[in-house]
Structure 1
């Protein structure tokens, strides 16, 4: 095998993994967008219950991430993906048959659990596919699948629900899940059989089996950045509507997604060539400026600039933080490192609106977004103290192609 072959990034299995993640994220975000309205219409659920119909999915995903990192290689990576994608697909087909709210919540948690397994497992798989020298670049391109899913999912759910019955929304998500399943079948997945020592301790659960302590410092940074992202996705629409800028919210999310897409095309390459300090602090600062600008915005151009800054922040920081986390651990603990990263993101998205939502009552949405900007500034300090100052040489030392 030549050096060029070893350094090849865009391989068949890489594109198949990209397809798996794209399909999974389309299902995740499409149903997150659709389920609150569906629960209100189908079960006459109040606002709180309808909201939980959407967010209960994340409960399942978050809980399973605590254990899947330890047991992924015991079950087998390909077997795990096939089983969880079957559950993921069938769940979408069952929704129209469910006639009670509580049963729908159970189904949402089951499907969320499958999603948590799929996203962790396929990311662990793709890390084996990406050349080490191009890891951040490869993860940046790979994460475009999630970005595209976040753009396609809500649009598809809204459009289908407007022109067809609710059943067709579920049929669409089942089709996307099935495509992900079909993409896994021909994949050549490198398995990592546990050692005899690991096998002997397979039922022993320790803290290190759930969370990788070496990854935790940068996972905390990811957690803080996810709080900022959650404040945008949760509160921006009512904030802008209250300021008489109803259409600006849709424009914000379109520009935000497009900017993330663009940034992830080159941020990973900068990370690999110039080091993480050339990407992460700048990205986090851009996101902090985005939230600060939203706090004082009263015109469309400010919303557009805030969307661009936010897209730079989220698009640059998240895959780079994931690459840094993986580089801090050992090869056999990559699944646990991956689940630690995703768990931090899930926790930030879940905690952010609850932890800072009280600011709306105290100082309005302006106070909320200023508080969010402060959280992002804290994340820069945490990053620098826990990792960045040790990575200074990665920025200044010349990087050589293999």
Structure 2
């Protein structure tokens, strides 16, 4: 029967994935994981992490996001964490994820440790699974971020000679950026994990971004029977991969339409699509919210008092965004304000007065 064939395929795929996972661990550590770790080993590892945090004196110890307030609240992007970045369409979740990946890759820096091996002291090598946009579209956004020239103008060739020279300089400067983009559509969880393992073996790996969660397919035949079950298997798979490779994974997620029915459009945990497993399996849940998106669609009649008030309010919030940290397993929750430049799809740091400052000024 079809069910029996599906079960056999599941068994074969699972066997391949488990075998590859065990081979990866064998190659990395010289031994296959036996499950239990005695307390002394766990204690040693914990104290090493505590010592590292202590010597950093409260500064970022995880992979830096490039956003001062996000890094202050999270302490950077921590190894083995699954971070969900969610938002309604047009809020800028892909833009923020791209900015974080770009910031981490640009900051990548190593030094030689006491054991003679390279040691990462900033940033990291990034894997970006772009399941919706092509690698070229994503790269165009990065060039816009770097040059300050809108991706729309780059795409159309609407540039003067100075701008084109600036674009060429950017291409040279970014040529060795440690950012690897996989734009394969309909990627399965098993294939995603296998490619991440290979990249870590070949190049090293410090951060994974998945854009976006609902476009990953489950490797399980049975998951096809229920979308909730499929998403559950994917979030469990991503969390397991984060622990296995010991890297943070940022997975983007859609939100349900129920957000639109409320007066306050700020997302809540209950708005996560197929929310149970996403909320449960994640270490951090962040929402991107731009009030200007909704206010722009409520323009009053021109030449009215209401219209003047609307113009004033749009001027105040048009280039502002919020990142809402709605869940953090090991820390506080709260809201962070960022600057946003729509034509560059770029988020920026803000100081306490609301003024922008560069990513490398903190």
Same fold (TM > 0.5):
no
Superposition TM-score, scaled by structure 2 size: 0.28
Higher relative contact order (CA 8 A, sep 6+): 1
Greater strand share, structure number = 2
Higher share of residues assigned helix:
1
- When the two structures are superposed, what TM-score results if normalisation uses the length of structure 1? 0.26
